[in-house]
Amino acid sequence: MKNLFNNTEVAFALKNNKELKRAHFLFKMISKPALVKMGSSLANFTIKTHLPVTGLIRSTVFDHFCGGINEEDCLSVVDKMYNQGGVASVLDYSVEGKETEEQFDAALNMTIKTIEFAKARPDAIPFAVFKPTGFGRFDMFVKKGEGKPFTAEEEKEWERIVYRFNMACKFAYDNDVLLLIDAEHSWMQDAADAIVLDMMRKYNKEKALIYNTAQMYRWDRLQFLKDLHVIAKAEGFHIGMKVVRGAYMEIERERAGQKGYKSPICVDKQATDINYDAGVTFMLENMDCMALFAGTHNENSSKLVMELMEKHNIAHHDKRLFFGQLYGMSDNISFNLAKANYNVAKYLPFGPVRDVIPYLIRRAQENTSVKGQTNRELDLIETEMKRRKI
């Protein structure tokens, strides 16, 4: 197990020399914070001014981190990853920041479509996914979570949000497709959590089909998992949970400082790591009513989950447990785990190039803020390039 994640031949088997060199170039760029800051500003500028740069973005950062511009576009990537590498996909419609009812209805329709794709390829696409703010305005989640009264018009708007959640969850239930619901900023999350809890009560009676997400860089999430477990045991339903570290650390800390409340984020990286490992440990100790999607790019956490599976006699192919990484990152974890017969699924983002730019900016900023991650990616790529004598 010790050297499992060092096998670069397995990790990059699906990448040809040109793709490997592109990955090397991109992670070199991402390792420089000043370049990421400048690139992010330029990318935002191109969105606002409609500069004709989509071809350049498509052939570089987009093709490395995304599956395509639409769901059909992704299928060649899906089939290649599963047939050649044993790694499944989660089709993730990564269009962010929409504000109109028409756009929210379109996101629901896209979620329904990805559930249909998953039903047609249950092994290669075991999950569908959506973001809460894909189905409704961010401010509505905030207001609901704070317990502020809605106007009559807002009440109807909120009902439409809950309706979209239910439509997606019911369709997933009717088609026996696992459905992940992403987590977002802490100050809107309480309202989203309440809806997802109701969906679990409704659709997770026999097994975990609907999955919420716990961001373990929040120091309160371990207790959140424990409280949810008590509710599930008392009411007789299963918990599905994607456990991740989290994606909005800088924004969370900045807002807490500005508003004068205690930051919801763990004090440092070590505390986050401890919290994450405690979360997956708790879930693996309670698999009688829990299903875990262990979303992590951390090798030590991945090894811990493997050890706990062995300790609790959980088979490698037990469908209650998946490892998950993002497409374009941590291939050494994904493909080596899959080769060892574990369930692995990559988040495969897709959408029109311009609409996916905010997602790509966040990916670059995350990689920059987790310096060790980028250096590890570069080391592995360079090892493989030497092995291939590129």
Instruction: Identify whether residues 171 and 312 lie together within a single domain.
Output: yes
Name the region of 243 (left: φ>0; alpha: ψ -120 to 50; beta: rest): beta
Instruction: Identify whether residues 232 and 149 lie together within a single domain.
Output: yes
Q: What is the pLDDT of residue 112?
A: 97
Domain extent at residue 11: 1-65+357-389
Instruction: Identify whether residues 3 and 18 lie together within a single domain.
Output: yes
Instruction: Identify whether residues 210 and 165 lie together within a single domain.
Output: yes
pLDDT 10s digits, 16-51 = 999 999 999 988 888 877 776 776 677 667 667 676
Beta strand 321-326 with 290-295 is: parallel
Residues across the chain: 390
Instruction: Identify whether residues 32 and 72 lie together within a single domain.
Output: no
Instruction: Identify whether residues 45 and 86 lie together within a single domain.
Output: no
Number of compact structural domains in the chain: 2
Q: What is the pLDDT of residue 1?
A: 47
DSSP output for 271-296? HHHHHHHHHHHHHHTTTTSEEEEEE-
Instruction: Identify whether residues 237 and 277 lie together within a single domain.
Output: yes
Instruction: Identify whether residues 91 and 237 lie together within a single domain.
Output: yes
Instruction: Identify whether residues 53 and 143 lie together within a single domain.
Output: no
- Number of CB atoms found within 10 A of residue 152's CB: 7
* Rg of the Cα atoms in the chain: 20
Q: What is the CATH number of the domain that holds 237?
A: 3.20.20.220
Q: Which residues of the chain have pLDDT under 50?
A: 1
From first CA to last CA, the distance across the chain in angstroms is 28
Q: What is the pLDDT of residue 83?
A: 97
Q: What is the pLDDT of residue 373?
A: 78
pLDDT 10s digits, 337-377 = 999 999 999 999 999 987 888 787 777 666 655 556 788 99
Instruction: Identify whether residues 270 and 363 lie together within a single domain.
Output: no
Q: What is the pLDDT of residue 34?
A: 76
Instruction: Identify whether residues 245 and 291 lie together within a single domain.
Output: yes
Instruction: Identify whether residues 58 and 153 lie together within a single domain.
Output: no
